[in-house]
Structure 1
């Protein structure tokens, strides 16, 4: 556990046991172990969500988490979360994890994503310059029960469908298709040679035709449109949008609070000292890279840095952007450094084995994601409060494309949910016992139906928590920008 980590107060729930699972050496033993796990967590038990006595007050958990973030960004965080039940859900992974800890668990561990909602999947460019679709957020990754990831995804499909005013029957169909895709893919991966399963990935150009539904002779183009936009999001585009040329260097434009250049930051008495600490951050990051990646990084020269606000639930976590050039200003590279704190999973499933949370995120991403950024690394930094903070580092724009989930129709929701489920099954097959999981799930749709029912119940719980959140903002009990 990193010395930089802040801790939440102890949970009222006992730790979830994922450490005692013994992976059998032979497929038959692994199959039997998966089936035996049904005694601990029957398939139908996953359908149930009901508030347990002594449930931690949801907004109290949220406030506890906000207490370790940048104070002047909390009003912006709450503003973004207050937009809809779905944006609220995106920022409340701690609340849901606290609730999941009270539900039946199989005890079969994987490297969990931790926050596998439908908005945390997207498009990016692989090292071979091909666009791939995969999981793209790893802040919460840690060891945990595989079904928590799937429940997080299924509930997000339900809430997203409601937000887009999709018919109830179509939402349930999308959740069922999502869960079925996971169940069928995990079985498929379990029957493959392990290295073949490891190398599998969703190449965007090759798989869009398979996942985009053909309705009335026309394909749903939501995913294809996102891919086209991703092709345009590269280092050149990022530099053109975020930077300007001044005093012989590329400098960040000022757009507070979303983007604040280093020379405009308040709270630092000595900006030269801040720059020196950033220089140390970059040097420590460099040493986290493999030698061939350091060779690439060493070809670039530093230009400028800025504090950056990212995401919805991540607002308030410390994040920096930096711009570098290789040959000249027409050959830029944009790097993002984002704070890594405890994973919500660690609070319930045990501490990470890694020395820092930055390393936890990076190593988890490399395990889960089919193809990771070549410049992915980690480092630490002294923050404005004098505390050591852990960071992970990656390219800012590298063919990254997100799906417009606020405007999905029923067909697009179903298509996207199946792609997300494919990626989640792949991540779990790479890092867990796919044979045990596949045999636990079996060949019927009993588990699918249970998860669809859970998604409805927990979406309603999310609505209740969101209503309390909005009421507290209206009464001035929570800050909102």
Structure 2
């Protein structure tokens, strides 16, 4: 790690000197042990999930290679442990694929684009870990959109290039300027070449501007009845049985009491304007399916809603990278700290808690509003390049808050050497992801018809 007490010029040279230990070209190669089994790695977390939702997790991951990649953060972390590192640590997101970026309306009514998921965040991780996962997701998405291998590789390289150029720009700023920098979505529209994507983003922004923070699109979709109650939509949304076993139980009063202790007095005063009306289990995402996730519906006396999400936090998959990486204490607090470190404007209600009865640890945040939750779904076809580069710039801004942007800029340099190397890695990892996805389909395929017939004959004979 470079010494941040040194001048920018000195830190740039130190970052550049790290190339002697790990040449930029070394990042081009993918090293995967022959004994590595992606399906087995995924299965390691099955016992800690809600049993009925484990098949749902695999069903979602089976949809296509990109869905597999989304749910396979543990697999990629295992693979990245064998790859070269630059030696420049940051607060890593840990799961920085294309779908884990999004747009947010801040309390000041600014519309920002930022990193969106922090379940796997961990400090002290080499910056290339997040960057390689992002580039690999671009390659997988491009191939899944029927682009040629040349086009997919070019998009991955452009994504790394956007990260590199923005990091170089940030390296010239003071620490305070870096900390307060942000990716303003309205300003970013001018940098997007694809007209269709520009128009769609403009509509999203105009709608957010018109409605502001006064409405919550989740409310009509998740609640029904004269007495507000979350709608059951099994198997992904359902009410918990207070008499159920530990895998299906949440100590609501204990969890929210502990959560309140994590909030500052100003946020607590605001939360006290609302009353908890209902709590239900709600499965989310791809990789998170089966972990314990709930939503709480809070209401004012005038029926104004607030949804809070209670999401289980487990040890980060980045601990698989080895070394001294790890986190001691409440894993929910790890997620909270990581989000506050990386995001330009974190959720007002973000806090950590635990359920002492079950031993689970959680973080709580505002449930994402549907209105701005689908930006990443707009990145189809030729718009993928613009969107991927936006994600690259955003990741650079997030890393610059905790790492040394000057040292990172020195290591990456002004040429496209690192862009090209990680693009080669991304294509190799896309190929590996396709193989791993096929292995999952094979492992989860139903029994052959012949076996079913023999079972039926035995049953009839009995």
**Offset at residue 401 of structure 1 (A):** 1.9
TM-score, normalization by structure 1: 0.86
Instruction: Give the drift of 1:406.
Output: 7.8
Given the alignment of the two structures, is residue 86 of structure 1 paired with residue 59 of structure 2, yes or no?
no
Structure 2 counterparts to residues 53-72 of structure 1, below 5 A: 53=34, 55-72=35-52
| Alpha-carbon offset, residue 414 of structure 1 | 0.6
- Change in CA separation of 1:393 and 1:102 when aligned onto 2, cut-off 3 Å: same
- Give secondary structure in 2 for the equivalent of 1:162: helix
Per-residue CA shift, 1:34-53, capped at 9, x if unaligned? Answer: 11211221010111113235
Say whether 1:326 aligns with 2:306: no
Q: Which moved more, 1:468-477 or 1:339-348?
A: 468-477
Distance of 2:240 and 2:366 partners within structure 1: 19
- The 3-state SS of whatever aligns with 1:254 is coil
Name which of 262, 271, 279 aligns with 2:240. Answer: 262
Quote the Cα distance in structure 1 between the aligned partners of 2:141 and 2:207: 22
Question: Residue 281 of structure 1 corresponds to which residue in structure 2?
Answer: 255
Aligned to 1:30: 11
Structure-2 change in CA distance of 1:214 and 1:61 (3 Å): closer
TM-superposed CA distance for 1:358, in Å, is 0.2
Q: How many Å apart are 1:204 and its aligned residue?
A: 1.7
Match of 1:338 in 2: 311
How many angstroms apart in 1 are the aligned matches of 2:366 and 2:31? Answer: 42
- Cα distance change of structure 1 residues 401 and 304 upon mapping to structure 2, 3 Å threshold: same
Match of 1:419?
390
Measure the CA separation in 1 of the matches of 2:130 and 2:54: 26
Whole-Å Cα distance in 2 between the matches of residues 262 and 219 of structure 1?
41
Distance 1:262 1:375, change over 3 A: same
* Structure 2 match to 1:296: 270
- In the alignment, what sits opposite 1:178? 159
Gaps of 5+ in 1: 1-19
Which digits, 9 at most, give the CA deviation of each residue in 1:306-364, with x for residues without a partner? 000001111011001010112321x1101100000000112324354452000000010
User: For each residue in 1:19-43, what CA deviation from the matched residue of structure 2 results, as whole angstroms up to 9, or x when unmatched?
Assistant: x765553323322221121122101
Structure 2 residues without counterparts, runs of 5 or longer: 449-462
Is this contact kept in 1: 2:308–2:365, CA < 8 A?
A: yes
Structure 1 Cα separation of the partners of residues 186 and 10 of structure 2: 39
Cα separation, 2, equivalents of 1:214 and 1:413: 9
Deviation at 1:266, TM superposition (A): 7.3
| CA–CA distance in structure 1, aligned partners of residues 374 and 362 of structure 2 | 23
| Cα distance in 2 for residues equivalent to 1:57 and 1:294 | 46
Deviation at 1:104, TM superposition (A): 0.8
Separation of aligned partners in 1, 2:208 and 2:60: 24
C-alpha distance in structure 1 between counterparts of 2:338 and 2:29, whole Å: 30
RMSD, aligned α-carbons: 2.3
Name the structure 1 match of 2:437.
Answer: 466
Question: With structure 2 as the length reference, what TM-score do the two structures score?
Answer: 0.90
Rounded Cα–Cα distance in structure 2 between residues aligned with 1:167 and 1:145: 30
